[in-house]
Structure 1
Amino acid sequence: MDNDHYVCTGCALLCDDIDVGLEDGKVAKVHTACRKGFAFMKGCSNPLGCMVNGKRADMDSAIREAADILRSAERPLIFGHANSSSAAQKKAIGIARKINGYIDDTSSFCQGPMVEAILEGKLKTCTLDDVRHKADVIVYWGADPANSHPRHMSRYSYFPRGKERQRGWEEDRTAICIDVRKSDTAEICGENGLYQIPVKGDVEFMDALVSALSGKIPKTSYDFDKKRLLELANILKKAKFGVIFAGLGMVYALDDREPLYRLMDKLNSVSNFHLIPMAGHYNMRGFNQNLFEETGYINRVKFSGAEILHGPEYSVVEALRQKTVDAALVIGADPLTSLPRSVVRYLEEIPLIAIDPCQTLTSVKAKVTIPCALVGVESGGTAVRMDGVEIGLKQIVETDRLSDEEVMTRISEAL
């Protein structure tokens, strides 16, 4: 057993207490990690090969072909990044600027609105370590960490005994689940901890909570027990350190963020509440922060000389739907799996470059595939946890594969 602890890049929790056992230079045993982390750290079952036009190629040829595709394109897209190291993300931003390209990531159709509000200072946030040590009221809103982030509740939120929460979940913490269904997380929160709302009922529930927190009788168009709403408001008011974990259920229910702003403002006028987006991929938050520092935007950017354009028309979804891009480089993502077929079909019609440690549906359709090392296992670097904390990643095993940063550096040099 290796004496060092490693960081798991299986999700955005970036758990840093992982033990591994090596055999023949490969990860053979993984201890402490959850089922998702275990599978991730064991590596690819189908490693990606270096290919050009469906034929085996050496790395130099693949790099040259990728650079030629990007150089020849009038409106190239660079997409992905959520499963890439921060250094590779910065290189990708530099390439997009150099080629006047579009650049976007998975946050443009998931947690982007929440991360953007936090980076712009519109939502109060905290760290997962603050939650572990201080939080007494925890709200999982449209989130199911029991399945999406299996160690979330045990390591950071509900179950740990923190410095100020020595008596743990039995006496020191209250867990609440607001969701459209009785999820596994809701089961843990208990029958009294679940506030089940109808699909797209989040805005009304937020406004009803604001009324209840203001001492008014809450109203909703759907039949919800007003007494339970008032009881919930009372719990939230008494919180010494509260946190809302915002899941995709909340994100997709909000057409704009104003109802959430109203709720958070009210909560912080009567109590002390924070919000953390439940980012999924291990470095989505890192890309958002890196692009924000470079451009003032977290995603959906188009470089045009010295000008930086931003808007929904520059998102990966709209760019593919409207067929406004004519080449694409995908790194650390698999859009042909994660996006609707009607949208991503266009990727098969344009020159496509895929950079990944593993074979994916996207790489199968790519004109050029370039394998890279698995970050956090075969290469090191840094990533940003879902709460905005930067975490260092150590290499565990040796590999002859280039890191994702090295691949992006070589493509940039070849342009």
Structure 2
Amino acid sequence: MDNDYYVCTGCALLCDDIGVEIEGGKLTKVHTACRKGVAFIKGCRHPLDSTVKGERTDVDLAVKEAASILKNAENPLIFGHANSSSGAQKIAIGIARRTNGYIDDTSSFCHGPTVEAIIESKLKTCTLDDVRHKADVLIFWGSDPANSHPRHMSRYSYFPRGKERQRGWEEDRTAITIDVRKSDTAEICGKNGLYQIPVKGDTEFMEALTSALSGKVPKTSYDFDKKRLLELAGILKKAKFGVIFAGLGMIYSLEDFEPLYRFMDKLNSVSSFHLIPMAGHYNMRGFNENLFKETGYINRVKFNGAEVLHGPEYSVVEALRKKEVDAALVIGADPLSSLPRSIVRYLEEIPLITIDPCQTLTSTKADVTIPCALVGVESGGAAIRMDGVEVELKPMVETDRLSDEDVMKRIMEEL
């Protein structure tokens, strides 16, 4: 067994205690990783080939064709990035700027508002290491880490024995699930740990809980046990270090973040609470922070000379829906699988470039495909964990494929 430890890029936890066994230059066994991590680390069942217009070619020609497409486009779209190294993301931003392009990522339709609020210091946050060592009250709100991030509860949140939580989940931690269903995470939290709310009931529950924290009798239009709500408020008030793990169940339910801001402000006037977005892709947070440093925005950007335009009209969804882009480069994403067909079918009508280690539905429709190494397995780099901590990545095995950063660098050079 290799004596080094590696980072798993299977999700945004970026677990850094992964052991591997390598024979004949090939990875044969993976230790410590969860089921998702093992599947990811073992690599692609169908690796991507270098192609131009469906014909196999070498990487050099594919890179030249990709650069030609971007040069000839008036409004190219550079999209994806959440499964890309930070180095590749930074070059992608440079390519978008040079080509006066649109640039956006998957946070545009998931955790973007949460990450943006944290970066702008509108929401109090902490690190996963703080959670492991200090947290005594955990709220899984609209999230189900037992399935989405299988090592979350065992490595960071509920089960670990931290420096200030030596007695662990048995005595030192209280876990609560707020969700529309009884998830696997709710099962772990126990029968008294689930606060089940109706679909789209998050805002009302949040406001009722804010009232309860203020000592008022909470009111909800749906039938919810007020005594239980007051008991929950009592638990939150007693927390020494509380953490809310915000999932898409919460994010998609909120029409705006004002109720969340009011709730967190009230919580922190009577206790100490932090919020961490349950990002899925391993470096979505990295793209948000890299773009923010460059432009002051985390996503939905359009470059226009020296001007930086920003707004919902520059999102990947709107740009494709309105057919305002005339070429697209997709890296580290598969929009034909993840976005509505009515929107993404337009990608099949314009010149499309895909950069990925694996074949995807999007790559099958691309005019140019360029394979890259699997980050964290075949190439190194850096990524930013869901809690904002930067993590260095090193390769587990060698490959002759270019890293995603090198592919982007070569396209930039051709431009």
Normalising by structure 2, report the TM-score.
1.00
CA distances 1:322-353 after superposition (whole Å, capped 9, x unpaired): 11101000000000011111111100110000
CA distance in 1, matches of 2:265, 2:3: 46
Match of 1:269? 269
Match of 2:337? 337
Match of 2:66? 66
Aligned-partner SS, 2:373: coil
Structure 1 residue 396: Cα displacement:
1.0
* 2:30 matches 1:30: yes
Amino acid at match of 1:221: S
Structure 2 stretches of 5 or more lacking a match?
none
Structure 1 residue 23: Cα displacement:
1.8
Structure 1 residue 377: Cα displacement:
0.6
Match of 1:97? 97
Aligned-partner SS, 1:46: coil
Match of 1:193? 193
CA distance in 2, matches of 1:2, 1:338: 36
Match of 2:111? 111
Aligned-partner SS, 1:253: coil
Moved over 6 A (4+): none
CA distance in 1, matches of 2:24, 2:142: 43
Amino acid at match of 1:162: G
Structure 1 stretches of 5 or more lacking a match?
none
Aligned-partner SS, 2:27: strand
Match of 1:130? 130
Match of 1:150? 150
Aligned-partner SS, 1:346: helix
Normalising by structure 1, report the TM-score.
1.00
Aligned-partner SS, 2:291: helix
**What is the aligned length?**
415
Match of 2:293? 293
Structure 1 residue 293: Cα displacement:
0.5
Structure 1 residue 26: Cα displacement:
1.5
Match of 2:57? 57
* 2:303 matches 1:303: yes
Match of 2:284? 284
Aligned-partner SS, 2:252: helix
CA distance in 1, matches of 2:394, 2:317: 34
CA distances 1:278-313 after superposition (whole Å, capped 9, x unpaired): 000000000000000000000000000010000011
CA distances 1:242-271 after superposition (whole Å, capped 9, x unpaired): 000000000000111000000000000000
Match of 2:251? 251
CA distance in 2, matches of 1:142, 1:228: 19
Aligned-partner SS, 2:370: strand
* 2:249 matches 1:260: no
Amino acid at match of 1:316: V
Match of 1:320? 320
Structure 1 residue 119: Cα displacement:
0.3
* 2:238 matches 1:235: no
CA distance in 2, matches of 1:29, 1:166: 32
Match of 1:172? 172
Percent identical among aligned pairs is 83
RMSD over aligned CA atoms reads 0.4
Structure 1 residue 100: Cα displacement:
0.4
